[in-house]
């Protein structure tokens, strides 16, 4: 009986994905994609993966959607309006479709006789008490396979560097959202709540679903909202120290544990929880600021000055020319 | 029909549909969306595979978490490249 829920979730996921992939307008594709991400996170919950569900909702649906929307908005200014896709021959799409359907059929057929190994669940459960945390996903990420996570933070960091190196003029455009009592009220509620929610997820990550990535993603969301609403912060948000502290602390921990125990990221006995929490906190801060930076770059504009001051300058030069 | 096989098939269909869209759509933003949906199809395989063994297996969950973060990095980089391509072809007009 329970499979009815899963069948309907799966059907809706496929339908929304089809809308996202094959709708004519890009904007509706992106909006369907965000809805798709939220539905997929429901599927993750049904499959007993709440950690993945939180990350999917915050990063997969939220931030990826925001990135796509920001880029789409900017392309509107770059490109001539859409003229529709050029009609192409039907033969290639048809043959590709048949090929991929065959591939799908092959794959579906193979699953029913391929999965026979017991997986690593028992191994994880056996060694969980020594890992310092009681959430098995956090234990895998930051203890058993912490080297992978170190490299993952490095990937994030490198992406940020690569995007900066593309030299898309890095200037933040101030969006001219009229400040209203309504907007201020919403922000006063949403921003502190997401900061607290992120901190909670970071702390609870050692025993319950949550952790550095979910916390970082939610903080990044708060930063993006503040950016869109044009709120000034206490310090400059594009801070190189904050961007690199996660990778820095992780590498420092790798060296320190090597000196202490003789192998990289093998925490000293009974201190595992301290090490994991220290690394996670630094990583969450960096993840938040790197994701925010990624958003800002796609959202920035060629103009190096805010639109208002450009207009102001233009008026000033015109005035100078007249006189 | 068991729960995990439902999601195995869904993941395979998502991958297949994404692949079709990747080939037949011509707009780069559409293609990038297609790659993302193909990725979700693969993640669904991992999570459905983890669900099979009675107690859920945490290692695939951790792998998928890593995968989601790497996917968003790759997407952000691809979007920046895409923007660069369009800026090389056209001039941006001020809003």
Instruction: State what percent of residues in chain B have pLDDT above 70.
Output: 89
Asked if A49 and B47 count as a contact pair (C-beta separation under 8 A), the reply is yes
**Residue B48: phi, psi to the nearest 5?**
-65, -35
Q: What is the pLDDT of residues A2-59, one digit of tens each?
A: 688 999 999 999 999 999 999 989 999 999 999 999 999 999 998 888 899 999 999 9
Residue A161, C-beta contacts closer than 8 angstroms, at least 6 positions apart: none
User: Which residue of chain B is at minimal alpha-carbon distance from A46?
Assistant: B3
Contact A14 B55 (CB under 8 A): no
CB contacts, 8 Å: A60 with chain B: 40, 68, 71-72
pLDDT beyond 90 at B56: no
Give all domains of chain B, ordered by start, each with its CATH number: 3-89 (1.10.287.3510)
Query: ipTM of the predicted structure?
Result: 0.93
Chain centroid to CA A272: how far?
Answer: 27
Q: Answer yes or no: do A168 and B87 touch at CB < 8 A.
A: yes
CA distance B9 to B5: 6
CB A17 within 8 A of CB A38: no
- Please tell me which residue of chain A has the smallest CA distance to B16: A100
Sort out which chain B residues have CB atoms less than 8 A from A291's CB and list them. Answer: 72
Report chain A residues whose CB lies below 8 A from the CB of B74.
159
Residue of B3, B69, B93 lying closest to A152 (CB–CB): B69
| Residue partners of A153: CB distance under 8 A and separation at least 6 | A246, A247, A250, A283, A286, A287
**Could you give the CA distance from residue B63 to residue A61 in angstroms, rounded to a whole number?**
18
- Give A293 to chain B, closest Cα distance, Å: 10
Yes or no: say if A54 and A209 are a contact pair by the CB < 8 Å rule: yes
pLDDT in tens, A213-257: 899 999 998 888 887 777 766 666 677 888 889 999 999 999 998
Q: What sign does the CA torsion over A120, B15, B75, A62 have?
A: negative
Say how many C-beta atoms besides its own lie within 10 A of residue A194's C-beta.
Answer: 19
What tens digit of pLDDT does each residue of A110-150 get?
Answer: 665 555 566 777 788 888 888 888 888 888 888 888 888 89
The confidence score (pLDDT) of residue A165 equals 81
Residue of B12, B15, B18 whose CA lies nearest to B34 = B18
Residues belonging to chain B:
95
Predicted pLDDT of residue A298: 64
**B62:A145 CB<8 A:** yes
Q: ∠A50-A53-A56 over CA atoms, to 5°?
A: 155
């Amino acid at each position: 009986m329970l499979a009815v829920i899963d069948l309907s979730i799966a059907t809706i996921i496929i339908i929304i994905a089809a809308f996202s992939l094959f709708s004519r307008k890009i904007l509706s594709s992106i909006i369907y994609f965000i809805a798709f991400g939220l539905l997929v996170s429901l599927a993750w919950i049904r499959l007993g993966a709440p950690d993945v569900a939180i990350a999917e909702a915050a990063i997969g649906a939220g931030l990826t959607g925001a990135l796509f929307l920001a880029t789409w908005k900017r392309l509107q200014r770059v490109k001539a309006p859409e003229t529709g896709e050029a009609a192409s021959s039907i033969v290639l799409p048809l043959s590709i479709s048949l090929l991929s359907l065959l591939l799908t059929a092959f794959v579906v057929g193979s699953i029913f006789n391929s999965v026979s190994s017991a997986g690593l669940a028992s191994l994880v459960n056996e060694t969980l008490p020594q890992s310092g945390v009681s959430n098995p996903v956090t234990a895998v990420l930051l203890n058993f396979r912490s080297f992978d996570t170190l490299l993952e933070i490095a990937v994030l960091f490198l992406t940020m560097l690569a995007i900066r190196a593309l030299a898309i003029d890095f200037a933040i455009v101030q969006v001219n959202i009229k400040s209203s009592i309504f907007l201020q009220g919403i922000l006063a509620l949403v921003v502190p709540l997401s900061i607290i929610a992120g901190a909670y997820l970071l702390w609870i990550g050692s025993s319950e679903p949550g952790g550095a990535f979910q916390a970082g993603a939610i903080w990044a969301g708060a930063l993006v909202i503040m950016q869109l609403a044009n709120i000034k912060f206490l310090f400059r948000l594009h801070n190189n120290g904050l961007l690199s502290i996660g990778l820095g602390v992780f590498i420092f921990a790798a060296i320190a544990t090597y000196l202490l125990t003789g192998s990289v990221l093998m925490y000293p006995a009974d201190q595992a929880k301290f090490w994991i929490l220290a690394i996670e906190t630094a990583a969450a801060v960096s993840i938040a600021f790197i994701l925010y930076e990624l958003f800002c770059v796609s959202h920035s504009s060629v103009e190096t000055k805010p639109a208002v001051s450009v207009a102001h300058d233009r008026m000033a030069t015109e005035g100078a020319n007249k006189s | 029909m068991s729960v995990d096989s439902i999601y195995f098939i869904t993941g395979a269909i998502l991958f297949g549909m994404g692949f079709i869209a990747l080939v037949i759509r011509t707009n780069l933003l559409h293609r990038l969306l297609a790659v993302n949906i193909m990725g979700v199809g693969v993640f669904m395989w991992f999570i459905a595979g983890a669900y099979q063994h009675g107690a859920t297996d945490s290692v695939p969950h951790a792998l998928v978490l890593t995968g989601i973060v790497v996917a968003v990095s790759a997407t952000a980089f691809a979007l920046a490249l895409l923007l660069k391509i369009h800026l090389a072809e056209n001039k941006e007009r001020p809003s």
